[in-house]
Amino acid sequence: MAGRLIDAQSTVVITADGVMRGAKPIALYDIVEKASTICGEACMALETILVLKRLPDSKLELKEGRDAWWHDAIPAAEASCEVEWMEAEDPLFVLYTSGSTGKPKGVLHTTR
């Protein structure tokens, strides 16, 4: 995950505290936190992590000044916003290979 965040020069991540896979909780925030540490070591620190609470028993300690709960941030946001105009060749998303034969390779898709 850290490699992909660095490739995309991401500054914001939207995640959940975790999800259930069968009866087992998967701690998504912990995965993002580890990736954030690696990004910071590569001088690509994440500025914001927005976290949706999905696990009722979750006891996360969010980092003040960087992290925010979705349910706290969204009510404070404006109901509407201006359109963000994009150029035809602006990046839209990066799609990665599985990486089964080495490091995953990303293909950049544009808005065109």
Domain presence at residue 111 = no
Domain presence at residue 94 = no
Q: In which band, very low, low, confident or very high, does the pLDDT at 102 lie, cut at 50, 70 and 90?
A: confident
Distances in Å between the alpha carbon of 102 and those of 16, 22, 35, 99, 105?
29, 30, 19, 5, 9
Domain presence at residue 38 = yes
Q: What percent of the chain has pLDDT over 70?
A: 100
Tell me the C-alpha distance between 2 and 19, whole Å.
20
CA 108 to chain centre: 17
Mean pLDDT of the region 80-106: 90
Domain presence at residue 61 = yes
pLDDT (0 to 100) of residue 29:
96
**Entry pTM:** 0.84
Domain presence at residue 101 = no
Domain presence at residue 102 = no
The answer to whether 16 and 28 are in contact (CB under 8 A) is yes
Domain presence at residue 41 = yes
Helices (H) and strands (E) in the chain, counts: 3, 7
Closest CA to 4 of 73, 97, 112: 97
pLDDT (0 to 100) of residue 58:
81
Domain hosting 29: range is 2-78
pLDDT tens-digit readout, 8-35: 999 999 999 999 999 999 999 999 999 9
Tell me the C-alpha distance between 58 and 76, whole Å.
23
pLDDT (0 to 100) of residue 101:
84
